Amino acid sequence: MSEEKTKLPLAARVSIFIAAVGLVLLISAGLMYDSLAKVKETYTSPDGKYALQVLAYPRFVKNGADENQAPGKLRLVTADGAVIDQRPLDHLSDVTTPKWSSDKVVVNDQLQFELLQDKPGHGGPADNAPSMVR
């Protein structure tokens, strides 16, 4: 009893290989573009434990449009720079001065980041998973 192995035709194998390489390149380009975002503005919490950073993505094509219409992201970090959470922005101009409270920060009256809280008997802020509500 011999079993025949069926191979895909050469054209199909080449097509699959090209698609896989293209996918890897696309993902890599997206990750590299995201890493190019630069901090444009920083808002520090009243207690100094947190900061909300406004990051701008680079614009490779200058079209004369307002710089504040560019896309970016909001990033919540601790005082030592550890990233807690981040959220994409369609336009940098969408950011208003954040409103800080003891357990959250609200931007634009709708975008909310929950702050890490120390709980008695626990290991501190690192034990609490951050969450964000839109």
**87, pLDDT greater than 60:** yes
CB-based contacts of 132, cutoff 8 Å, min separation 6: 85, 87, 111, 112, 113, 114
Q: Which of 68-72, 99-103, 121-125 reaches the highest mean pLDDT?
A: 99-103
With 0-12 CB in 10 A as exposed, 13-18 as middle and 19+ as buried, what is 49?
Answer: middle
State pLDDT tens for residues 103-131.
889 988 778 888 887 644 333 444 444 44
Domain ranges of the chain: 38-133
